Amino acid sequence: MTAYNVFPITGLPEITAGADLATMLLATGVRLADGDILLVTSKVISKAEGRVLHATDREAAIDAETVRVVARRGPTRIVENRQGLVMAAAGVDASNTPPGTVLLLPENPDGSARALRRQLRELTGLNLAVVITDTFGRPWRNGLTDVAIGAAGIPVLHDHRGHVDSHGNALEVTVTATADELAAAADLAKGKTSGAPVAVIRGLAHLVADDDGDGARPLIRPADQDMFRLGTSEAIREAVTTRRTVREFTSQLVDPAAVRRAVAAAVTAPAPHHTTPWRFVLVETQQARTQLLDAMLAAWQRDLAHLDGWDEARIAGRTRRGDVLRNAPCLVVPCVVMDGSHAYPDSRRAAAEREMFVVAMGAAVQNFLVTLAGEHLGSAWVSSTMFCRDSVREVLALPPDWDPMGAVAVGHPARPAPPRPPRDPEQFITTR
């Protein structure tokens, strides 16, 4: 165990653009020691660097600093800002700054920490560490605390993996956010309203390195490792807008539980007359898949051969589109049933009744595809089974009232889908 002390630096005047913060810190009379760690509130760095924006519209300032909206609830936004930090309001702050102005975070917090450390070393000859802090909320926890957004001279993470605890248990996932722990400890000394924006931690010189190190960037979780990268509604919207038809898959197997979760979402779709007209056939065995696709291919070839202009080459080209079903790791056949439908004596109403159930099936398939996208699975909804329903029912031993509505190939995409060109919704809207 290591004992350490935390104390604030008091007596700093109001910081303005261009201020020599290192000189002003030493002018307070603080006596620094080799191995001290300075925890500096980002606001004083921002003020010294001129990151004060004259803006009556804070929301516009947040827009300018935002690269991605993570979650939005009413006026509150959690965003990823230009520094790569995920936080409320992009770090744009209207407190502790004159009315009509807002404070932006330092442009490069790690660079700011390195510059201040270098200036203090030149003035004192001491080997110090500098951590720039800001106040964050945390998922699943109430209240705010200070965390590190910039650092110099200190490793921000301590990897305990490969070590053992006091009971001899191997530590497999423990990586301590050392810089965040220091930031929170210093905040107890600085306080939020005491006017002491800088604190010193003394007694942890073993944490202070000779070089600047990697800064605070290692604290930011990479996007591909972030299980909570978006809020609920944002995740749904992203899955809907970024879902693309995928026709090439890797050989990686699909988690059956993920497919079943997608089916669970599918059967929440709206349906007529309080019915549940959806059925999903999971073609899980290779034998069943081969029999199904061979039967479908034969039916297609048999039907097309009777049409003028359909020679063998054209038929082969058309049926080759079904290869996506043959090559995908997982195959699902959605079916609609008309249980609970109303009977009508005339064909017009009977046709409209069927269309209602088909629309419900489409809504279910959309839920299915979007949920698969949320599971990071690709999919392709192919209409082939609708052209040979009898063959599909026979091979899969389906009840006669199960009506196959295409087939869905599911798997891990072989490559990222190209970006979808933006579509103007106004082109699809008519107002009366």
* pLDDT higher than threshold 80 for residue 306: no
Extended beta strands in 344-419, E state: 378-382, 403-404, 407-411
pLDDT for position 363: 96
232-428 carries CATH number 3.40.640.10: no
| DSSP classification of residue 308 | T
* Tokens standing for residue 236: 């749904």
* pLDDT higher than threshold 90 for residue 409: yes
Contact 219, 131 (CB under 8 A): no
* pLDDT higher than threshold 90 for residue 192: no
Band of residue 342 on the pLDDT scale cut at 50, 70, 90: very high
Please, which contacts does 263-269 make with residues 24 or more away whose CB atoms are closer than 8 Å? Answer: 263/368, 265/367, 265/368, 265/370, 265/371, 266/334, 266/364, 266/365, 266/367, 266/368, 266/371, 267/364, 268/367, 269/360, 269/363, 269/364, 269/366, 269/367
* pLDDT higher than threshold 80 for residue 141: yes
Hey, CA dihedral for 202, 207, 210, 216, is it positive or negative? Answer: negative
Least confident window among 41-55, 166-180, 210-224: 166-180
* pLDDT higher than threshold 70 for residue 171: no
| CA distances from residue 36 to 25, 32, 204, 307, 348 in whole angstroms, order as listed | 14, 7, 7, 86, 84
- Return the domain boundaries, the chain: 5-51+106-225, 232-428
Q: Rounded mean pLDDT of the chain?
A: 90
Phi, psi of 268 (to 5 degrees): -95, 0
- Per-residue pLDDT reduced to its tens digit, 378-407: 999 998 888 889 999 999 999 999 999 999
Band of residue 195 on the pLDDT scale cut at 50, 70, 90: confident
| CA distances from residue 11 to 120, 155, 198 in whole angstroms, order as listed | 18, 29, 10
Distance CA 162, CA 432 (A): 67
- Tell the residue number behind the tokens 């891990």, with chain if given: 412
As a CATH number, domain 5-51+106-225 is 3.30.1330.100
- Per-residue pLDDT reduced to its tens digit, 60-116: 889 999 998 888 888 888 899 999 999 999 999 887 788 888 999 999 999 999 999
- Per-residue pLDDT reduced to its tens digit, 256-294: 999 999 999 999 999 999 999 999 999 988 898 889 888
Mean pLDDT score, 169-176: 70
